[in-house]
Structure 1
């Protein structure tokens, strides 16, 4: 079975030119099939402010009004996506930009209203593995923006961490999948103030202990929840770490274990 590396990168790296260049360099050096899934929340927030559109967040997740949907489609599917594609092409990496609507790659449904109305936010229903397999077999590197669709003409803002996890799960029937959540730190830290306190192997039991004690909090929680979900559902390997380790043969970062 061929290997596939899926890398998810967030807004903190995309916003900082030096870190973005490092991501592009090291991602381009990954051997074999690969997919890049990106966020871009900070750029969307800045753009929304310039356009006079209010940003509302609940537990770190963006409420997506009709006006905000227009912003995230422009920013995620346009500015951020094409900037990354162009930079990868400059490194002889044959990237092509997609949203979930393109070639029906990722089908979703509108998140139901429970205690919170998230607006135009989608929950993934289905991944078109055959289309992705066809792209990868042609040497194309998909760069996927966090937008999905419902085949009814509607676009949805969709969590990029979740999209990466769902892609890893769906494609694990066709490839040996390594899922890498890339962010600014060298891994999951036992002490948020000490970059040398990387937890090299994080089990579900240890994760629960750290979560209950407040060692692991906030934005790291959805990454880990999605990472463990992918691992339970077929991904061979899930790693959380910095961009500089992407192209290296030696392991670096935090490896999730069940």
Structure 2
């Protein structure tokens, strides 16, 4: 039986007030222990533009220079995180906003410079995640809401991929709970045909995954999520589910609407 849901909501939902309102109402209604991880990239970009700070990307990844880490810390850890917490409280969900620096839950290291200098971006060693401290919050019936920020233990905040944070938290907490990690985004799941939103592949195991890759069924965008999913399962997470944000409540039951990965 699953007794903890670690749920990551994508930026396209965060950026759409109507979708976000519905998602938060459904998330609040989920019974039992749960954690939410969010992004907010477009909001950070808009705020940077207002402040005259240009957003720079390489291969779709944000370059987090000294000015940008201040912007994303303000936007992710402040504006977006606290708005989500306030909206969850309005829905009767006793949420607590967090970054990886709070209670030292997620220490990280600044990504080494190789071909590209990504700046103040954090890489997580899952063994360093403080699962025991997070468990104490869950046992106190609080609902942690994590911004995509970690820290280096020396006073520096680090911008960190929200999918990776979700996977790392799920792995750390799998020592204490049977965890289902859920990635919520704007698609109904992993699609057999990218142009057909109803072509959901309902179950993927390692063998099916390798067959789908060999047949070039999977798009570049979904491959990282699936690779993260299998890494989580191989590290102790019971199940991973990829599905539409609208289905988050049903996807915490035995009757799932997305793609279940085992």
**TM superposition score category, shorter chain reference:** over 0.9
Alpha-carbon contact 1:161-1:222 (below 8 Å) kept: no
Q: 1:32 to 1:45 in 2, by over 3 A?
A: same
Alpha-carbon contact 2:100-2:151 (below 8 Å) kept: yes
Which residue in 2 is equivalent to 1:95? 95
Which residue in 1 is equivalent to 2:197? 195
1:223 to 217, 221, 225: 225
Which residue in 2 is equivalent to 1:237? 239
Alpha-carbon contact 2:97-2:145 (below 8 Å) kept: yes
CA-CA distance at 1:2 after TM superposition: 7.2
Structure-2 separation of matches of 1:108 and 1:179: 21
CA-CA distance at 1:203 after TM superposition: 2.7
Alpha-carbon contact 2:194-2:219 (below 8 Å) kept: no
Structure-2 separation of matches of 1:67 and 1:184: 30
Q: Provide TM-score, normalisation by structure 2.
A: 0.93
Structure-1 separation of matches of 2:77 and 2:237: 26
Alpha-carbon contact 1:85-1:96 (below 8 Å) kept: yes
1:20-61 CA distances to partner (integer Å, 9 max, x unpaired)? 012101111111110001111111122222222122222322
CA-CA distance at 1:116 after TM superposition: 1.2
Deviates more, 1:26-35 or 1:243-252: 243-252
Alpha-carbon contact 1:239-1:253 (below 8 Å) kept: yes
Tell me the SS of whatever aligns to 1:106. Answer: coil
Which residue in 2 is equivalent to 1:168? 170
Which residue in 2 is equivalent to 1:65? 65
Structure-2 separation of matches of 1:209 and 1:47: 43
Q: 1:140 to 1:206 in 2, by over 3 A?
A: same
Which residue in 2 is equivalent to 1:251? 256
Alpha-carbon contact 2:13-2:20 (below 8 Å) kept: yes
Tell me the SS of whatever aligns to 2:124. Answer: strand
Deviates more, 1:42-51 or 1:130-139: 42-51
Structure-1 separation of matches of 2:69 and 2:231: 27
CA-CA distance at 1:212 after TM superposition: 5.2
Aligned residues: 257
Which residue in 1 is equivalent to 2:139? 137
- After TM superposition, the structure 1 = structure 2 runs for residues 4-153 of structure 1, keeping only pairs within 5 Å, are 4-125=4-125, 126-153=128-155
Tell me the SS of whatever aligns to 1:37. Answer: strand
CA-CA distance at 1:214 after TM superposition: 4.4
CA-CA distance at 1:217 after TM superposition: 2.6
Tell me the SS of whatever aligns to 2:7. Answer: strand
Deviates more, 1:228-237 or 1:209-218: 209-218
Unaligned runs of 5+ in 1: none
